[in-house]
Structure 1
Amino acid sequence: MKTTFFLRHLAMPFLSLSLMMSSCTRHLEDITPDSKKATNAENATDVSIMSTATIDANTVQQTIQGFGGMSVPIWIGDLTADQRTKAFSTSSGIGMSILRVMVPTSSSQFAAEKTTIDVAKSYGAKVIATAWNAPSAMMDGLYLRGSAWGDYAAHLRAYTQAVGGVYALSPWNEPNYMASGWMHASAAEIANFVAAQGDNCGAPIMCPEPFNMDQTFINTYLSNATAKSKTLFVSGHIYGKTPYNLGNIGKSVWMTEHYTNSSISGNDWPNAMNAAKEIHDCMTAGWAAYVWWYIRRFYGPIDENSSITKVGYVMAHFARYVRPGYTKIACSANPTTGVYTTAYKSGSKIVIVAINTNTAITYQPFTISGTTVNSFNRYATTSSSNLESSSFSISNNAFGINLPASSITTLVSN
């Protein structure tokens, strides 16, 4: 849960004498072609805990919209030029493809958002904006006055125009989080507002952005057919909730705010691995996007010293290599005890992200159908390394690799 307004195993060993060689070289020692899989299975002490991760490129699931984070200059200061590069660059940074920003209540603060918005757009990122509150003159306590709907839509439109446009906009942030100090509303009230004023807000609508990704709240909102027709995608936050599939709601689902622990450094490796598993879970649930809370924060992807943290490198395993427009494809989500895998494609390119939560090196076999893959570039991050790269060839669309203990690995086909 949010604490303040501002914050919120077992492997089949596959060892060799060269296991500890630099990952910058080709790892022949831990790549197993299809012809050797049977032998490896025979050597397993308990084959029941290890299964092949089966990838089917012909079974297309959700379209990925991206991975990103939030910047709120009026609360904690803007990102620096260096931090923007580290956030959005796919070559020297995390590769974020989504920037979330806050709509200020005062038009005098609109300009504070623009520089980072412009830079994010220059890297191809989508910018989404959320309003925590309407201007005080439009509110009764923590509720938007019905007579102020038109004025509020005009306020939102003025913001989007001032910053040069945004991809989507949410008029409420966690309207069901009643312990908050920001604007409340029921799902029906938000739907009525969007039905009446959604076309006047200056950007497509993302809604209803509830706390807990509350499906009852979401379904109630979507039951208003007019509001649904004016909603680009469904958004919400998973505080206190394990990612889950919302079913056939007829809209793409974006997870637009979360962090794992605001009391632990972003360089704490177990916490970073929790973030890795959480992103995996969101993708497995069929969601299209994952957005962290603050981009720059000691517990986030970039710290106050402008260094990419372990959380940031974990995010890079998805954000750099699974770009907007890629589609998630069928893949065994938990093929081996402690191993979690997802797969994606763009044309003939295949990307696999494998998370090994085990405390030992874990051998994982893979098979691929629906396309032909001859080789992969591999990137691995552990507690002591970041995106270490290597490459290897495969045959017959089948292979096996050793996943380092407590690690995240991304494979990108050539």
Structure 2
Amino acid sequence: MGDNQLGLSIVRTGISPVSSEWNAQVSALRTAKSYGSNVKILASPWTAPAAWKSNNSRINGGTLLTSRYGDYANHLNSYVQYMRNQGVAIDVTSIQNEPDWHPAYDSMAWTGDTLRNFVRDYGANIKNTKLLVAESLGSNRSYTDPTLYDATARNNIGYVGGHIYGQENGPNLSAYPLAAQYGKNQWMTEWNYHEADGNGSNIWGDPTNLAAWNETLDKIMPSVNRTMESNWSAYIWWYGKRYYSFIGDGESAFGTTGGAVLKRGWAFSQYSKYVRPGYQRIGVTESSKASPLDVTAYQGDGKITLVILNRTTSAVNGAVIQAPQNVTSALQTMTSQYSSRAAQTTSITGSQVKVSVPARSISTVVITL
């Protein structure tokens, strides 16, 4: 949580179908857990062992043979217990990554009904973790509705989740009343988008590159804002360390320095560093002055935290935030094409905080009550 840290609190890892490979991630996951109890691990399988599938292959989809449902539950449980014995608690375990996508790499096909049947009949065999369904490619609810409608299956899961490929502006990135009805938080468990590089231009290591910043501000960050407005409770980006991601991987063709925080990382940290696990989203009433802005607000630890997107070409100066009681202190930081989580000036008068939001920026305001 220091000045050069991003505050990320969820790690997603894969579950290999080969148990002898599970040790490969132990060290990294232990390191993640060493940052405290707020760090959660989601483990997702891409496929069962080939011999348990209808196509006898790890790739190109293929379904899990019903005669192997028990074996698959034992496989997932064995992974969780193996990691637990290594000192790594697996907080959430997915049943399947992208059950509706069957590419020529590790994958496995399910339907909403077969996921329900598996979770209903075998979910209780997977111990010391909370289960998640269904990580559909585009958060297709036909993959989660059957589980939610079945009381036994529903009681065997902790979360519903999905990806937002093709849905960043689509109808599936929205509130999910059925999940809310049964108290199941929804996680966005994967998205990745990087078209600004075209055919591989060397832009990502330049913190002021306009194309990279425009994509981050106009395409990526609105998807986070929309996810939060839809009352989903987690947002997980694809690789954390990659040239188009949060931290540079050092790949020379794309211009990043290995280990260096990238502009997209600074932008994401306007959420992750300040909106901490356990905070609750609260409503915001916006005046006409704030109408060009996208604002979400959160409460926790005696603080109110606002994340403010200004995608317009005009600054909003002297905006007044009205808190419910007198304010003790206020902190504002801002990321833009030329700034990376830079401190901004605020002023306090009783229960009001005055801030300015630069054009083409994302800001966070933390109000201590």
Question: Normalised by the shorter chain, which TM-score bucket?
Answer: 0.7 to 0.9
Q: CA deviation at 1:180?
A: 6.4
CA–CA separation in structure 2 for the residues paired with 1:189 and 1:263: 39
In structure 2, the partner of 1:161 is 81
* Structure 1 counterpart SS, 2:349: coil
Once the two structures are superposed, the pairs formed by residues 11-410 of structure 1 within 5 Å of their partners are 89-124=1-36, 125-141=39-55, 142-164=62-84, 165-178=89-102, 181=105, 182-202=107-127, 203-241=129-167, 242=169, 243-249=173-179, 250=182, 251-261=184-194, 264=197, 268-273=212-217, 274-304=219-249, 305-332=258-285, 336-363=290-317, 365-410=319-364
Q: CA deviation at 1:220?
A: 2.5
- Structure with higher RCO (Cα < 8 A, 6+ apart): 1
Q: CA deviation at 1:210?
A: 1.2
CA–CA separation in structure 2 for the residues paired with 1:233 and 1:193: 15
Say if 1:227 and 1:262 are closer, same or farther in 2 by CA, change over 3 A.
Answer: farther
Return the letter of the residue paired with 1:149.
Y
Return the letter of the residue paired with 2:282.
I
CA–CA separation in structure 1 for the residues paired with 2:17 and 2:340: 40
Return the letter of the residue paired with 1:350.
I
Gaps of 5+ in 2: 56-61, 198-202, 250-257
Deviations 1:317-357 (A, max 9, x none): 11111110111111147964541111111142111111110
Return the letter of the residue paired with 1:287.
W
Say if 1:231 and 1:371 are closer, same or farther in 2 by CA, change over 3 A.
Answer: farther
CA–CA separation in structure 1 for the residues paired with 2:248 and 2:132: 29
**RMSD (Å), alpha carbons:** 2.0
Is the contact between residue 375 and residue 391 of structure 1 (CA under 8 Å) also seen in structure 2? no
CA–CA separation in structure 1 for the residues paired with 2:344 and 2:213: 22
Q: CA deviation at 1:277?
A: 1.6
Deviations 1:244-264 (A, max 9, x none): 111242211110100232663
Is the contact between residue 334 and residue 340 of structure 1 (CA under 8 Å) also seen in structure 2? no
Q: CA deviation at 1:393?
A: 3.1
CA–CA separation in structure 1 for the residues paired with 2:68 and 2:166: 33
Is the contact between residue 211 and residue 237 of structure 1 (CA under 8 Å) also seen in structure 2? yes
Say if 1:180 and 1:332 are closer, same or farther in 2 by CA, change over 3 A.
Answer: farther
Is the contact between residue 281 and residue 297 of structure 2 (CA under 8 Å) also seen in structure 1? yes
Is the contact between residue 76 and residue 126 of structure 2 (CA under 8 Å) also seen in structure 1? yes
Return the letter of the residue paired with 2:294.
Y
* Structure 1 counterpart SS, 2:158: strand
Deviations 1:232-280 (A, max 9, x none): 0111111111321112422111101002326636551012212222111
CA–CA separation in structure 2 for the residues paired with 1:261 and 1:271: 8
Return the letter of the residue paired with 1:121.
K
- Report the TM-score when normalising by structure 1: 0.74
Is the contact between residue 375 and residue 392 of structure 1 (CA under 8 Å) also seen in structure 2? no
